Amino acid sequence: MIIPTYNCGKYLGRALNSVRVQEVADIEIFVVDDGSTDGTDRWLEEALVRDGRIVVLQGGHKGPNAARNLAISQARGGLIAFLDADDFWWPEKMLPQLAFHERNPDVSFSFTDYLHFDVSGRTHGTCFEYWSPPFSKSRCGEFSVIQDAERAILASNTVGTSTVVATRAALQNANGFATDLQSAADWKLWLKLANKGRVAVSCAVTMNYLMRSGSISENHSVRIAAMKEIVAAYEKCSDPETRRAWRQARARIKVAEAEHLRLSGNHWSAAKAHLGAFLSNPGKRIARAGMSDIANSLFVR
């Protein structure tokens, strides 16, 4: 399994402990220190003494995608799991997921639902609860193969990287994570894998995802730009179902833009972004959010 880390020393111990409690005997734990300056190197030296399964690699401050790719190139196992240094797995996460892959070796990758929480420890619901992707209807606790996985993942960008288990062969055949994207490279990779192979999902919650300012995914404008670039590759598809998924993806990006604008106090622009989302993929939630933005633009000064 692979943990990229950059100045996450205060979270890294929790992440590693969540790996140690998994009921998996044969595991390599790659920690890629991507140029941390917070004492992570010294902490890892001590961790190596306590746990011989840990392999520390130096990422050279090239970003989390290059760090993950470095570890993929060094891994020996046929299956690879990912965990960001500020997230943590639930104790029962790995065993059923690995068992599923052993029974279904043709599945390129699998993922699960996950819980959002903030630095105070307060939880904010799960990913699938908020976005309601169609595959969240799978029987809870069991993995099932997603039909038309690429379209489903395009329409609903809900794959949490820290929940993923993927085959090393599939990752290598896809050339790993794109290093030319500052954000959303994981989404691009999952789409590539879904285009070439089978994908499975479980609605079980197996991971806590930390929402914190300063994290890579917190940079909204960079992430939105990257997502637009990824979605643009599907714009000229003529297949009706792919076009539908493309419209849904565009709508979600517009919603993300609206939320960013709302946080900055620009309610009128947020309302226009919600209108664009509604035109791409009409829905009650988008309509309500847009009306709220219009009201705020009129009455908030």
pLDDT tens by residue, 178-210: 999 989 999 999 999 999 999 999 999 999 999
* Domain residue ranges in the chain: 2-216, 234-299
- pLDDT tens-digit map of 123-152: 999 999 988 888 876 666 799 999 999 999
DSSP one-letter code for 25: S
Band (37; pLDDT cuts 50, 70, 90): very high
**Among 50-54, 167-171, 234-238, 266-270, where is mean pLDDT lowest?**
266-270
How far lies 171's CA from each of 28, 42, 75, 79, in Å?
17, 31, 11, 10
- Which CATH code, of 3.30.470.20, 3.90.550.10, 3.30.110.40, 3.40.50.720, is assigned to 2-216? 3.90.550.10
Average pLDDT (264-278) is 76
| DSSP tag of 180 | S
CB neighbour class for 33 (10 Å; exposed up to 12, middle 13-18, buried from 19) = buried
For 59-103, write each residue's pLDDT tens digit.
999 999 999 999 999 999 999 999 999 999 999 999 999 999 999
d(CA 104, CA 98): 10
* Residue 116 in tokens: 């959002």
Structure token digits, residue 227: 């997502």
Q: Please state the rounded mean pLDDT for residues 4-33.
A: 96
Answer whether residue 217 shows pLDDT above 60. Answer: no
Question: What's the whole-model pTM score?
Answer: 0.90
Helix (H, G, I), strand (E, B) or coil at 84: coil
Helices 40-50 and 9-20, interaxial angle, to 10°? Answer: 20
Closest among 125, 126, 119 to 211, alpha carbons compared: 119
